[in-house]
Amino acid sequence: MGKLKVYADRMSQPSRAVIIFCRISGIDFEEIKVDISKGQHLSPDFTEVNPLQKVPAIVHGSLKLSESHAILVYLASAFTGIADHWYPTELSRRSKINSVMDWHHSNLRNGAVNYAINTTLAPALGRQLNPKAASEAEKVLLSSLKTLEDIWLDGDGGFLCNGIQPSLADLSMVCELMQLEVLDERDRNRILSPYKKVLQWIENTRTATNPHFEEVHNILYKAKKKFEQQRARTAETGTSPSNKTGGYSKI
């Protein structure tokens, strides 16, 4: 079987989760950058890999696979020497991890991604900011954070489903929340600070997966600085950032 190929854009939350997992598990892989801001996910070459035109995607031997959770589960199952806590062999624990990963997509991801796009990222994707969509997304995000705090992080384990070490679900969902780094700092604090367990869990996951976590998130920290500078300029001059023309994202 050939070397694993991971098609990813590090600005994408699920892409970061897959790269960090490969790194921390010592999986030998080739990272192939698919720059969404340049429309590379729409190219014929990448469409061959993933007809859905989204990252991340992998190619391993004859297998072409998309959807980050399916990819993470595949990697944890196909490669040897992966620590059991990522995707526990014990069936009831494994099922809990599957359950929280299923919940993630229509709740936390839905709220976080749409809030980040409609308050901050839209112009960089060639779209207008949309306060109404942001307000709808905020409701989903806040209710998801409450569910995380009260249900998924119930117990003293420090990780989801009272785990004492991170699972695939922890990695996926913490990478999702990291996207909020691009928000105005006061807004990010307003949203996250009521959820003490969530904040602690982000730190637990960061610590458990470093140095890979910080290295893979570096691109996001750079973007955060750019957005901060942009906001400062807007406050000074009263002009908002111009929209890039011809955005490529279908999100």
Ligand X SMILES: N[C@@H](CCC(=O)N[C@@H](CS)C(=O)NCC(=O)O)C(=O)O
Q: Which residue number, 117 or 148, has a Cβ lying nearer to ligand X?
A: 117
**Cβ-defined contacts of 179-182 (< 8 Å, 24+):** 179/13, 179/112, 179/113, 179/116, 179/220, 180/112, 180/115, 180/116, 181/217, 181/220, 181/221, 181/223, 181/224, 182/116, 182/120, 182/121, 182/220, 182/223, 182/224, 182/227
Residue 13 is a binding residue for ligand X (CB under 6 A): yes
Residue 119 is a binding residue for ligand X (CB under 6 A): no
Choose which of 19, 40, 46, 54 interacts with ligand X (CB under 6 A).
54
Residue 122 is a binding residue for ligand X (CB under 6 A): no
Provide the minimum distance between the beta carbon of 249 and ligand X in the complex, in angstroms, as a whole number: 4
Token pair, residue 223, equals 């973007």
User: Which residues, numbered 129-148, are part of the site for ligand X (CB under 6 A)?
Assistant: none
Choose which of 6, 8, 10, 14 interacts with ligand X (CB under 6 A).
14
Residue 33 is a binding residue for ligand X (CB under 6 A): no
Choose which of 7, 8, 10, 12 interacts with ligand X (CB under 6 A).
12
Residue 104 is a binding residue for ligand X (CB under 6 A): no
User: Which residues, numbered 62-91, are part of the site for ligand X (CB under 6 A)?
Assistant: 67-68
Provide the minimum distance between the beta carbon of 248 and ligand X in the complex, in angstroms, as a whole number: 6
User: Which residues, numbered 209-228, are part of the site for ligand X (CB under 6 A)?
Assistant: none
Task: Name the one range near ligand X by CB under 6 A: 49-57, 86-94, 95-103, 160-168.
Answer: 49-57
Token pair, residue 246, equals 């011809």
Residue 55 is a binding residue for ligand X (CB under 6 A): yes
Residue 16 is a binding residue for ligand X (CB under 6 A): no
Interface ranges with ligand X (CB under 6 A): 12-14, 36, 41, 54-56, 67-68, 105, 249-251
